[in-house]
Chain A
Amino acid sequence: MEKTSGARLDRATLAAVVAAVLMPAALALIFFYVPNDADQGFSQRIFYFHVPIAMTTYTLFGWGALNAARYLWTGDMSLDLRSYVPMHLGVIFGTLTLVTGSIWAQVSWGTWWYWGSTELNTFLIIFLFYCAYFMLRFSVEPGERRARYSAVYALLGVGLIPISVLAVHLGQDVIHPITFTDHGANMDGSMLFTFCVALAAMLSLAVAMYLVELRGKRLDEQVSRLRRLAAGTTAP
Chain B
Amino acid sequence: MPSPDEAVVCEGLVRRFGERAALQGVDLRVAAGAFLLVTGPNGAGKTTLLRVLATVIRPSEGRVAIAGHELPRAAHAARPLVGYVGHGPLTYPGLTALENLALYAALYGVPAERIGPALERVGLASRGRDVAAEFSRGMSQRLALARALLHAPALLLLDEPTAGLDSGGQEVLREVLAEPGRTVVVSTHEPDWFDGLATGQVRIEAGRVAA
Residues of A within 8 A of B (CB): 141-146, 224, 228, 233-235
Contacts and interface: CB of A to CB of B under 8 A. Distances in A.
A228 B19 CA distance: 8
Contacts of A142: 18-19
B21 A233 contact: yes
Please name the 5 residue pairs, one residue from A and one from B, whose CB atoms are nearest each other, closest first.
A143-B18, A141-B18, A235-B24, A235-B25, A234-B21
Nearest to A232: B206
B60 A144 contact: yes
Contact of A235 (B17, B18, B19, B21): B21
A233 B19 contact: yes
B14 interface: yes
Contacts of A145: 18
B26 to A, nearest CB: 10
10 contacts: A141-B18, A141-B19, A143-B16, A144-B60, A145-B18, A224-B19, A234-B16, A234-B21, A234-B24, A235-B25
Interface in B8-39: 14, 16-21, 24-25
A146 B17 CA distance: 10
Interface residues of B, number: 11
Contacts of B16: 143-144, 234
A222 B206 CA distance: 24
A76 B179 CA distance: 44
Give chain B's interface secondary structure class: strand
Given A233-B21, A234-B24, 7 more contacts: A141-B17, A141-B18, A143-B19, A144-B16, A146-B18, A224-B19, A235-B21
A235 B206 CA distance: 11
A144 B61 CA distance: 12
A144 B14 CA distance: 13
A144 B57 CA distance: 12
Contacts of A141: 17-19
A96 to B, nearest CB: 33
Nearest to B17: A143
Of listed B14, B18, B60, residue having the most chain A CB within 10 A: B18
Nearest to A228: B19
B142 to A, nearest CB: 34
A143 B60 CA distance: 11
A146 B81 CA distance: 31
Nearest to A235: B24
Contacts of B19: 141-143, 224, 228, 233-234
B20 A233 contact: yes
Interface string B43-67: 0000000000000000011000000
Nearest to B60: A144
Of listed A144, A228, A234, A235, residue having the most chain B CB within 10 A: A235
B180 to A, nearest CB: 38
B164 to A, nearest CB: 31
A131 to B, nearest CB: 24
A103 B197 CA distance: 79
Contacts of A146: 18
Contacts of B25: 235
A141 B20 CA distance: 11
B197 to A, nearest CB: 33
Of listed A142, A144, A228, residue having the most chain B CB within 10 A: A144
Interface in B41-95: 60-61
Nearest to B25: A235
Nearest to A227: B19
Contacts of A234: 16, 19, 21, 24
A228 B18 CA distance: 12
A128 B16 CA distance: 32
